[in-house]
Amino acid sequence: MMRVNVESIGLIAAGMTGWEAARPVLRGEVELDAAVVPAFKPNLLPPNERRRTTALIKLALQTAEDALARSRYGMSELASVFASAEGDGEIVDRICTALTLPGHPVSPTHFHNSVHNAPAGYWAIAAGSRKFSTSLAAGAATFAAGLLEAASVAVLEREPVLLLAYDYALPPALAGRGYVDAVCGVALVLTADDGAAMTRLSLEMQPGSAVPPPLPAEFAALRAHNPAAVALPLLQALARGESATLGLPCHEHLTLQIGIDA
Amino acid sequence: MPFEPLALAAYSTVSALGRGRGTALDALLQGRSGLRPCDYDGVDIETWIGRVDGIEDVVLPAALKPFDCRNNRLALLGLESDGFASAVAAARARYGAARIGVFLGTSTSGIEATEQAYRQRGASDGALPAGFDYRHTHNTFSVADFTRRYLGLEGPAQVISTACSSSAKVFAAASRHIRAGWCDAAVVGGVDSLCLTTLYGFNALELVSRRPCRPWDAARDGINIGEAAGFALLEREGEGVRLLGYGESSDAYHMSTPHPEGEGALLAMQGALHCAGLAPQQIDYINLHGTATPSNDRAEDRAVTRLFDGSVPCSSTKGWTGHTLGAAGITEALFCALAIEEGLVPASLNTEQLDPGLSAPIVRTTLRQPVRVAMTNSFGFGGSNCALLLGQPA
């Protein structure tokens, strides 16, 4: 079993535009209003850089910004794990469209933004951070994979880590064919257990399948359309400040068991 | 806590040099490059590529048909080379399927399937063909999902996709999972396959050479894109070459150009030495990232020279295989394993006139000499850096 502290939380989704706004919604005190759509204007990027980036990159950075607002750590002190099931569908759409045209006019900017770690690259530049960073994908279990990777870096490499799980709805041509048809970004700043009074997670792998923890219908719909939203039961417990135990599926034969010690 | 070395209990490599370790070794000893003038379908760029023959004829098992695409066919070639799948089956019997993880790197996954689907869009409605299975082919996780099912593994599985450092970083992630107790052994590796996206994308960035690539050459002018698959089984116990350490860093400089002084590269190499508890003078060979673009080689040369002071023989093996992008980390780690097992330092093929502005000691003809510890460097877009150290057990 591995123990890791949750130092700070960020969340961006329709009706939950930032952790402070999302907490009463997650606690069930305020109804989710999905018509409240987040505006993407991350302050981490200078305006000229922001213009070169995509909706996915903006979502990732804005989710990071939300968690940083309540963190003890500055950007440059954090290692990072970027977990995204699909990467950038908008860029895929643009490049694959360009490749059907005479002369195959792929834009150089689109091409360098096409790498799965493009958001991590912009983050490192904005943060001025040369620390460890990785970018990964694990289909429907991308959040669980990101949490395992981030916790192992926090505990074994003794580095505070920013975990970002984020996915943006695929463009119309690809809609319904992948894992993502909704927008959601989740951030957790994780640290090794340093004695500070923080919420502690204990992580353990268990063979066998798990039924995803129950959620109210509007949250369950988001979870069905965005692998980052698999974190919602965990975020619910964190918003309530309650101790709990959750099983998140890694795949059909493996479960990540999370103990929350509030 | 010092890093506990992990054995490469089995490994396999497929690249433009051919299928299997023996074929790769023969090519390295005979000076036979795998590069050829670009003959990839539908490409009108004048360049050379590192193409793997026979991918078109690979047939996936019926149960895994939804995963059918060039990248997963290449993965299958790798899994069936060098007895790798059989070695994993034996490990599965020892550890149990749930105790072996899968950590694979790729940059473009099966994007070739999406490229083809876009060329077949309906004229009236623009819809992609109904039979196009994006989730199982192009999605970034595809190759790890395919591999874990093919090998019957039930441990944690992930794809690391950090451009050209992807399949080096899998060694670090797998090591941490084993140390954390989340698995007892791990299949690590990487698969990247030729596609229009990388050929035309690198061409748009003016980073593609019209000739066979020439790392560290005064007239070097870009990369040759290659494809490859490589796998290794990491275990605590076992014979053979071991992973001694890893170092990971970010450049925080530019999306597609390395830091000019190689600051991020230096941090990754220092991190690997620290992890392994080794000093620079204990390294016998450095397999450079060495892509043969003017700025990449210059930045890496600065970093290598600052750390090793010209004392360690270096070569880039991109002139043999081309730049295999998300598979470069594993391919070159396995060249290091061959170098250690066979006692050889592969030449930096195609390097003719060494750049007088660079100072790393470049090996020009393959040498037969003992290699106890080797370092391999992998640096990617977005400023993602990873260095690995491999060595003979003490």
pLDDT of B351 strictly over 80: yes
Angle among Cα B281, B285, B290 to the nearest 5 degrees reads 120
Query: Maximum CA pair distance of chain B?
Result: 67
pLDDT, greater one: A48 or B232: B232
Residues of B serving a catalytic function are 164, 289, 323
Which of A99, A117, A251 lies closest to B197 in CB terms? A99
Residue A47 pLDDT: 81
**Which value, to the nearest 10 degrees, does the dihedral of the CA atoms of residues B52, B53, B54, B60 take?**
0
pLDDT of B70 strictly over 90: yes
Residues in chain B: 394
pLDDT of B19 strictly over 90: yes
Residues B197 and A111: beta-carbon distance below 8 Å:
yes
How far is A139 from B136, CA to CA, in rounded Å? 10
Q: For residue B6, what are the CA distances in angstroms to B103, B243, B245, B271, B304?
A: 15, 5, 9, 17, 25
Residue A39 pLDDT: 84
Residue B1 pLDDT: 61
Residues on chain A touching B180 (C-beta within 8 angstroms)? 2, 148, 151-152, 155-156
pLDDT of B84 strictly over 80: yes
Average pLDDT, chain A: 95
Residues B348 and B25: beta-carbon distance below 8 Å:
no
End-to-end CA separation in angstroms for chain A: 17
| Interface probe, candidates B108, B145, B158, B249, chain A, greatest A C-beta count within 10 A | B158
pLDDT of A197 strictly over 90: no
Six-digit token string for A119:
């958001």
How far is A146 from A84, CA to CA, in rounded Å? 9
How far is B75 from B167, CA to CA, in rounded Å? 13
Instruction: Output the CATH code of domain B6-391.
Output: 3.40.47.10
**CA B226 and chain centroid, separation:** 10
Going along chain A from its start, the domains and CATH numbers come out as: 2-196 (3.40.47.10)
Q: Report the b/e string of B263-297 with b at 16+ CB within 10 A.
A: bbbbbbbbbbbebbebebeebbbbbbbbbbbbebb
> Which residue intervals of B69-129 are DSSP H helices?
70-79, 84-95, 111-119
For residues A198-204, give the mean pLDDT. Answer: 94
What pLDDT, in 10s, does the model give residues B150-183? 999 999 999 999 999 999 999 999 999 999 999 9
Six-digit token string for B98:
């749930």
Residue B263 pLDDT: 96
Residue A195 pLDDT: 65
How far is A212 from A219, CA to CA, in rounded Å? 12
pLDDT of A79 strictly over 90: yes
For residues A19-32, give the mean pLDDT. Answer: 97
Chain B residue with CA closest to A180: the answer is: B135
Q: Do B162 and A253 touch (CB under 8 A)?
A: no
Confidence of residue A42 (pLDDT cuts 50, 70, 90): confident
How far is A149 from B174, CA to CA, in rounded Å? 9
Q: Do A207 and B98 touch (CB under 8 A)?
A: yes
Confidence of residue B123 (pLDDT cuts 50, 70, 90): confident
Amino acid at B390: L
Residues B351 and B364: beta-carbon distance below 8 Å:
yes
Which of A124, A135, A205 lies closest to B251 in CB terms? A124
Confidence of residue B17 (pLDDT cuts 50, 70, 90): very high
Confidence of residue A193 (pLDDT cuts 50, 70, 90): confident
pLDDT of A203 strictly over 70: yes
Q: Do A124 and B252 touch (CB under 8 A)?
A: yes
Residues B289 and B296: beta-carbon distance below 8 Å:
yes
B380 in A contact zone (CB under 8 Å): yes
Q: For residue B86, what are the CA distances in angstroms to A153, B167, B230?
A: 32, 22, 15
What pLDDT, in 10s, does the model give residues A219-257? 999 999 999 999 999 999 999 999 999 999 999 999 999
Q: What percent of chain B has pLDDT over 90?
A: 96
Six-digit token string for B42:
């539908």
Residue B394 pLDDT: 62
Confidence of residue B122 (pLDDT cuts 50, 70, 90): confident
Which of A104, A116, A207 lies closest to B154 in CB terms? A207
What pLDDT, in 10s, does the model give residues A150-180? 999 999 999 999 999 999 999 999 999 999 9
Residue B236 pLDDT: 96
Confidence of residue B348 (pLDDT cuts 50, 70, 90): very high
How far is B102 from B155, CA to CA, in rounded Å? 7
| CB-side neighbour CA atoms (13 Å) of B96 | 12
Q: Do A100 and B119 touch (CB under 8 A)?
A: yes
For residues B212-233, give the mean pLDDT. Answer: 98
Q: Where are the beta strands (DSSP E) in chain B?
A: 6-15, 18-19, 36-37, 48-50, 100-105, 157-160, 185-192, 225-226, 228-235, 242-250, 285-287, 314-315, 344-345, 367-368, 373-380, 384-391
Residues on chain A touching B137 (C-beta within 8 angstroms)? none
pLDDT of A131 strictly over 80: yes
What pLDDT, in 10s, does the model give residues B286-323? 999 999 999 999 999 999 999 999 999 999 999 999 99
pLDDT of B186 strictly over 70: yes
B141: nearest Cα among B67, B60, B194, B89: B67
Residue B346 pLDDT: 98
Amino acid at A33: D
| Interface probe, candidates B162, B203, B274, B385, chain A, greatest A C-beta count within 10 A | B162
| CB-side neighbour CA atoms (13 Å) of B318 | 35
Average pLDDT, chain B: 97
For residue B47, which phi and psi values (nearest 5 degrees)? -160, 180
Q: Do A117 and B179 touch (CB under 8 A)?
A: no
For residues B321-341, give the mean pLDDT. Answer: 98
For residues B217-224, give the mean pLDDT. Answer: 98
Q: Do B135 and A178 touch (CB under 8 A)?
A: yes
